[in-house]
Amino acid sequence: MYNTVNQDILDELEGIVGKENMLVDQEEMIDYSHDEFSLSDISKFPEVVIKSGTAEEIAEILKLANRENVPVTPRGGASGLCGGCVPSFGGILLSLEKMNRVLEVDIANQMAVVEAGVRLMDFYEAVEETGLFFPPHPGEESAMVGGVIATNAGGARAVKYGVIRNYIRGLEVVLPSGKIIQPGGKLMKTSTGYNLVNLFIGSEGTLGVITKAIIQLMPAPEVMRSLIIPYDNLEKAIETVPYLIHRKILPLAVEFVPREVIEITAKFLRKQWPVSVGETFLLIIIDAASEDELDKMSEIIAEFCMEKEALDVFVADNPKKQEQVLEIRSKVYEAIKAYTLEILDIVVPRAEIAHHVKRVHEVSEDLQIWLPTFGHAADGNVHTHIMKARYENGTIIPLPEEEWKDKLAKVREELYRDCRMRGGKISGEHGIGIIKKPYLSYVLSEEEISLMRGIKDHFDPNRILNPGKIFD
C-alpha cells in the first residue's frame, strides 16, 4: 500500500533537516512507537523519526512523502490514550518536539502565539508570567499544544470555560500537499468563509500538520476554592449539578470520584483524604473576584447540597488544604495506571451520567471486571477505567491476561451501546485514534462518516497523513 523509506528517501530527508534531527536506530525509536495506551498490540515502529524545526522543512517532507507514497505521522507529547500518534504504517514519524517556542504573549490583543511543540506546562508558565490566564486544563501537562489542538482536548474546567476549541483563534498548518496556510488570526471573531481553523481542531493530524497556534487568553480569576461534598450515592451527587447552575453558581469544575479510587490514590501518595464519610464525592472548584464572593458561593453550595442529602461539606479554604485535595484528585490516573487496560472517554448529556454509571456498575458485575469510574460531572464526560486487576479489602490484586483479555471488547461494546442510547459520543476529549475506530459507527451515521471521508480525500488525496486513524 505504501512504499518503504529507502536510502534515497533517507538521503533526501537528511538534506532537509540534517542528520542530527533524524533517528533510524530501533533502540532510539522505541519511544516513538507508542503513546500512553497500555497494550502493545497497536504499537508500531516508524522507519525514521524526523525532528523538524520549521514549517518550511515540514512542507518539504510532506512533498517528498507525497511523491514517494510514504506515510507521515505527526507527533506531539504522545500523552494520548488511543494511539492517535502511532505510525501504524511505519514511514516517517514527524516529531514536533523541537518546535517548542512560545513566540509571543501579546497582552494588548490578549493572544499568545506558540509553536506546536510547546508543552502545556511551559505554556501555562509563560502565560502566567504576564498575569493572563489560559483556562482549559487537560490533565496531562506534558502534552504539546499541537496535540492538544489536534484532539480538541477538554479537561475539568470545560463547564465554565469551555474546551480548547473555544480558545484557538488562528493556526499555521502544513497541508499534505506541502502548502502552508495560516487560517484565522489574532481575531476574537470571524465570519469570513468556512471556518478551517475549527476543522483542523480535533482532526487528529489527518488533515494537516499544525505547526503554530494563536491562542486567546483571559483575565485570571483572583481566587479559587475547592469544596468536597460526600454523598452516599452518585445519583444524588449528580442531581445537584443542574440545581447549582440554576442558583447561578457556575463552578470552574465539578468532578465526581468514588471513595475506593480516592483511597487508593491517598495511599499511593501517602496523603490523607480529609473527608471520612460518603461513598462518592463531588469535588467542586469555584473561582471568583474576591474571597467574599467565594464565601457567598460556598455558602449557597453548602446549603443546597445539604438540602439534597449530601452527608457533609468540606471546604478547602486555605492554600494548603486546597493543594492537598487537588493533588489527590490529579493523581488518580497515576495511582491506578499500572493496573489500567484502557481509559474510556464517553461523553453523555449531563443528566444521563448517573444512569450511564449505573450501567457501568451492572457491566462490572456481569462480566466480573473492575471498572472504577469517575470524571467531569458538570460536562457529562465519564472516564471509566477498564482494569486488569481486582480490588479487594483495600488491596489491588493484578490479574493474569486470560482473566481480562476477552472482557475488554465486551466492556467497550456494552458501554458504547449505552452511550449511544443516551445520545452520547465515544470521545469527549481524547479523540478516536486507533482504539476507538471500530466503534465510530456506534455514534456517527454513515452519512456523517462519508462527509468526513470526503473532506479527508480533498485535503489529503494520497492519504499520506496519519493513515489508519479515526475512520481510515
Binding residues among 126-155 for a copy of itself as defined by CB under 8 A: 131-132, 151-154
Which part of the chain contacts a copy of itself (CB under 8 A), choosing from 15-23, 49-57, 184-192, 385-393?
A: 184-192
Write out the three cell numbers for 208.
494537516
Rounded least distance, CB 397 to a copy of itself, Å: 34
- In sign, the C-alpha dihedral spanning 96, 31, 1, 51 is positive
For Cα atoms 471, 34, 23, give the angle at the middle one, nearest 5 degrees.
Answer: 115
* Residue 42 lies near a copy of itself (rule: CB under 8 A): no
d(CA 355, CA 443): 18
Name which of residues 302 to 331 contact a copy of itself (CB under 8 A).
none
Which part of the chain contacts a copy of itself (CB under 8 A), choosing from 63-71, 157-165, 262-270, 318-326?
A: 157-165
Q: Pick from 142, 146, 3: which is nearest to 72 by CA?
A: 3
**What contacts 228, CB < 8 A, 6 or more positions away?**
274, 275, 281, 282, 283, 284, 313, 314, 316, 325
Beta strands per DSSP E along 266-325: 280-288, 314-316
Rounded least distance, CB 6 to a copy of itself, Å: 30
First to last CA, the chain: 13
Give the count of residues interacting with a copy of itself (CB under 8 A). Answer: 97
Name which of residues 338 to 357 contact a copy of itself (CB under 8 A).
345, 347-351
Write out the three cell numbers for 462.
494520497
Rounded least distance, CB 341 to a copy of itself, Å: 21
d(CA 367, CA 387): 12
**Contact at 8 Å (CB) between 345 and 383?**
yes
Which part of the chain contacts a copy of itself (CB under 8 A), choosing from 19-27, 255-263, 315-323, 372-380?
A: 372-380
Which part of the chain contacts a copy of itself (CB under 8 A), choosing from 62-70, 255-263, 264-272, 282-290?
A: 282-290
Spacing of C-alpha 231 from chain mean position: 28
> Dihedral, CA atoms, 440, 441, 444, 447, nearest 10 degrees?
130
Phi, psi (deg, nearest 5) at residue 99: -90, 70
Q: Is the CB of 271 or the CB of 437 nearer to a copy of itself?
A: 437
Q: Is the CB of 193 or the CB of 400 nearer to a copy of itself?
A: 193
Task: Choose which of 179, 334, 338, 406 interacts with a copy of itself (CB under 8 A).
Answer: 179
Task: Choose which of 15, 67, 107, 366 interacts with a copy of itself (CB under 8 A).
Answer: 107
Rounded least distance, CB 218 to a copy of itself, Å: 7
d(CA 130, CA 177): 38
Rounded least distance, CB 9 to a copy of itself, Å: 26
* Residue 296 lies near a copy of itself (rule: CB under 8 A): yes
Which part of the chain contacts a copy of itself (CB under 8 A), choosing from 23-31, 91-99, 178-186, 359-367?
A: 178-186
* Residue 108 lies near a copy of itself (rule: CB under 8 A): yes
Name which of residues 218 to 247 contact a copy of itself (CB under 8 A).
218-222, 242, 245-247
SS3 254: strand
Q: Is the CB of 83 or the CB of 428 nearer to a copy of itself?
A: 428
Name which of residues 394 to 453 contact a copy of itself (CB under 8 A).
423-432, 436, 440, 443-445, 447-449, 451-452
Strands 72-75 and 92-95: what pairing? parallel
Which part of the chain contacts a copy of itself (CB under 8 A), choosing from 17-25, 198-206, 274-282, 357-365?
A: 198-206
**Contact at 8 Å (CB) between 425 and 410?**
no
